Structure 1
């Protein structure tokens, strides 16, 4: 596994744990289809939450959340519908969140959670 992929997976685990601690229940991760991938799928009460996780070792090349593009956020809405269809879920309320994780080598992870980014 490439170091970048391992870092991304570690960041997704950190993000999932963080969300769970906040009472947001993660119900799926790394869901893929021909149109793309959803990092985390969660429920916040009855609201379906699609979570994009961006992980970096430092802010040397900018904040992880700066890597989110408008196109990616729009694609996540489409992916949410495809996920719901595949899992036979009715979407009442949908929210797209972003979690930025800085995984320094010697300090605990720094986590930024933005709700409703798209």
Structure 2
């Protein structure tokens, strides 16, 4: 596995730990539907957080959150819709981004709630 893949997995675990610490219940990790993959589905109260995790070692060129394309958003929406139907959930869905910036051995975590389109 490449170093960037290892860091991506580490970033997802950091995000899961962060969400749990902040009162979320993790429902699913790496949910797949057709071409969609959702990093984390978590619930807090009656809100389903559909979480995209972005981990990088620098953000000099572009903000980490700005790396999410319109195509990726459409895939996340489709995947979230299917997850809600499959699990017969009656919740409000929200699309969050957790960015993790690694600088040497220090991690900076930012949780952007309702980062884009929700239904």
TM-score by length of 1: 0.88
Give 1:111's aligned residue. Answer: 109
Runs of 4+ in 1 over 6 A off after TM superposition: none
Where do residues 13-52 of structure 1 align in structure 2 (5 Å cutoff)?
Answer: 13-52=13-52
Listed as ranges, the gaps of 5+ residues in structure 1 are: none
SS at match of 2:28: strand
Instruction: Say which structure is richer in strand.
Output: 2
CA contact (8 A) 1:11 1:103 kept: no
1:66-115 Cα distance to aligned partner (Å, 9 max, x none): 211233223211110112233x23243110100100122322x1011111
CA RMSD of aligned residues (A): 1.5
